[in-house]
Structure 1
Amino acid sequence: MHDVIAPTQLTAAAPAHTTRRRQITAGVRDSFSAGLGIFPLGIALGLLVLQAGLPGWLAPALSMAAFAGSLELLLVGMLATVTPLAAVALTVLVVNFRHVFYAFSFPLHLVKNRWAKAYSVYAMIDEAYAVNASLPEAERSAPRLLAMQLSCQTYWVGGGLVGLAIGSALPAPIKGLEFALCAMFTVLTLDAFRSRREIPAALLAAASVTAALIVTPGIAMFTALLLFVVLLLVRHALTTRRPAPEAGDA
C-alpha cells in the first residue's frame, strides 16, 4: 500500500519551499548595492590585465582562484613586473589576513552543508561582510547569505569579462584605473563610520596609515597593513579578556 500524505504535511512543505525561495531572492536583492561597486571594479581588473600585457584568460582565472578584489588588482601589477614569489606570498598573507577577523562575526554557523560552508568561507569578501553586517540578526539565513555571496562573485567575474571585451576594442589604454580600488575602500570606510560597532577598527586603520606614512613613507602600504593587523590582534585580545557583567549588575 502507498502511504497517504496528510494535507497538513503538504501545507507545511509548501511554505518551507516558498520561504527558501524568498530568502534566495532577498539575498540577490541584498547584493545589488555591493554590485554597483563590484561590477565596475571587475571591469577595471579586465582592462588592467590587458594594459599590463598579460593574457586575457588571467582575469577570470584570478576571479575564480583568488576571489579578492584588492589582492587581484595588486597581483596584476606584481605579475607584470615579475615580482619574486616570496614577495607575492607575503603580500597575499598581509592583504588577506583581515579575513581572519571577519570570521569572528560572519554567520558561518548558519550554513550547515560542508561544501556550501567551504564556498561561504572562500567568498567572504569585504562587500559580503559589509552587506551581511547591515542585516538584522533575525533576518539572516544560509540561503540568503549564499545567494548574496554567489551574486557578488557573478558581478566580479562578469565585470572582468566585460573589461576584457572593452579593452580589446579600445585603441589606447585608459589612465587612472588604479584609483578604482582606492574609491571602493573609501566607500567601505565611510560605511564603517556609519556603524558604531566598526568605528574603533576604522580609527585603528587611520592610525596605522598615519604612522606608516611618517615612519616608512617608501613602503607605507606594507607597514600600514602589518601595523593594522597587530592593532586588531591587540584589540581582540583585550575584548576577549574583558570580564562579562554578572547577573546582579545593573
Structure 2
Amino acid sequence: MSAYAALSQAGYRAYTRDKTTLFFTFAFPLLFLVVFGLIFHGQTVEQSGKPYINYIAPGVLSWGIGNAAVFGVGFVLMQWRRDDILRLIRMTPTRVSSVLASRYVLALGIGAVQAVLFVAVALLPSFGLELASSWPLALPVLVLGITGFLAIGVIVGSYAKTPEAVAAVANCLMLPMAFLSGSFFPLDAMPDWMQTLSQALPLRYLNDGISAALTGDGSTGDIAFACGVLAAFALVFGAVALRTFRWSDKS
C-alpha cells in the first residue's frame, strides 16, 4: 500500500470514528440554514425582489464547506505535529504531497456530502429553494473552493501550536469573511466599501459561483469567472502552504 493510500485510509477511519466532529461538521451549516430560512421564510430581498433563500442557501453552503476545509486540515496538522506523528512520517519515504493529498481527498468527500445534504434540506417546502438547470456546474466551483480553503487550513495548521490557536485563527479568518462576502447577508444591501472589500476575499467568489449554478442568479460566464478567480487563489495559497509546511515545531 502506498503512503498516500495508507494516510487516506487512516484519515477516513479517524474522521468517521469521531462522532462529535462528524455530526457538527454537517449540522453546523444546516443550523444556520434552519435559523435564517425560518426567519425569512416567504420574504424577498428588497433590492432584487428575489426570495431570501436564494441568497442565504448558497452563501451558507459555501461558508460551511470552506469552514470545514480550514478547520479539518488545520486541527489535524497541528495535532500530528504536536504529537510528533509528522516527524515519524518524515522518517519514511513519504513526501509532503502525499500527506496533503490524503487530506485533500478527504476534504473533497466531506464537501460533497455536505453539499448534497444541505441542498436536500434547502429543497424542502419549509425553505423553498428551487434549483436551476445549471446546478451541475456547482461541482467545479466546489472543488476549486475546497482546494483554496484547504490550503488556508494548511497554513493555519503549520503555525498554530495548540487547538485553541487553530480555533482562534480560523474563526478570525472565516467569520468576518462570511459577513463581508455575503454568506449571511446579500452584498447588494451592503455599503459600497464593503462590496469593494469583498472582491479580495475567496469566499466572495465561492458564494457567487455556487449561487449562479444552483439558483441561476448569474450566467455561465459568471460561473467561469468565479472558477478562474478561485483557481488563482488556490494556486497562491497552495504555494504559500507548501513553503510554510512544517514537519515539527522544532524545525
TM-score w.r.t. the length of structure 2 is 0.33
Larger radius of gyration: 1
